[in-house]
Chains A and B, each alone.
Chain A
Amino acid sequence: EVQLVESGGGLVQPGGSLRLSCAASGFTFSSYSMNWVRQAPGKGLEWVSYISSSSSTIYYADSVKGRFTISRDNAKNSLYLQMNSLRAEDTAVYYCARLMAVAGGFDYWGQGTLVTVSS
């Protein structure tokens, strides 16, 4: 069974940093591209970042470019999101999601981890 489990969320002050993790199991993690998607409280979905299976290609939404860094460790079946210079508008539930095929859609999602940026 495919499982994605996020961790690392919490309360952080504006300007602070946080590192999210996503532990994958039930599939060959190294064969799939992965993404982070976030959802602010009561709002819609926002794609945040993409990383290819080998980490050779990475993309970011303009809203996080220069502040967030996506990475992965295929040996540990894990995906990460390093978030620096956090702002109140980064408050959201962060989901990791698997890209099923090239431009096919996100077929598996984690349960999400809440990040709250507040003083």
Chain B
Amino acid sequence: DIQLTQSPSFLSASVGDRVTITCRASQGISSYLAWYQQKPGKAPKLLIYAASTLQSGVPSRFSGSGSGTEFTLTISSLQPEDFATYYCQQLNSYPRAWTFGQGTKVEIK
């Protein structure tokens, strides 16, 4: 199975900061990568799909980039509602085991 490694696992930041989270795949996955935000006690929310396409309704301060094995999620100016855990997920066509990264928790500094 394809493994995804997110870094950092934990991030402390202030409102207004620019934040970047990296997701590395153990083998090439083209652009078959999605990013999710999850708040405590809630279901995950899709932010980005196909590595860089913003899901409808998601604020433009969120952006994604990358292809192959290295991907990034960037929050251009962190807002209070953005403190959450973020996960990447690969949806490569083969093998069909759509693994998630281990998560990155973004907390208030």
Contact = CB atoms under 8 A, between A and B. Distances in A.
Interface stretch (B11-19, B44-52, B76-84): B44-52
Contacts of B60: none
B44 A50 contact: no
A45 B44 contact: yes
A7 to B, nearest CB: 15
28 contacts: A35-B98, A37-B44, A44-B102, A44-B103, A45-B36, A45-B38, A45-B100, A45-B103, A47-B98, A50-B96, A59-B96, A59-B97, A62-B1, A95-B43, A95-B44, A100-B49, A103-B32, A103-B92, A103-B93, A104-B34, A105-B34, A105-B48, A106-B46, A107-B46, A109-B43, A109-B44, A109-B45, A112-B43
A64 B56 CA distance: 33
Contacts of A105: 34, 46, 48-50, 55, 89, 91
Given A100-B49, A103-B50, A106-B44, 5 more contacts: A44-B103, A105-B49, A105-B55, A106-B34, A107-B49
B26 interface: no
Contacts of B97: 47, 59, 61-62
Contacts of B93: 103
B44 A107 contact: no
Interface in A60-101: 61-62, 95, 100
B99 interface: yes
B93 to A, nearest CB: 6
A46 B1 CA distance: 13
Interface string A30-46: 00000101000000111
Nearest to B42: A111
Interface in B4-62: 32, 34, 36, 38, 43-46, 48-50, 55
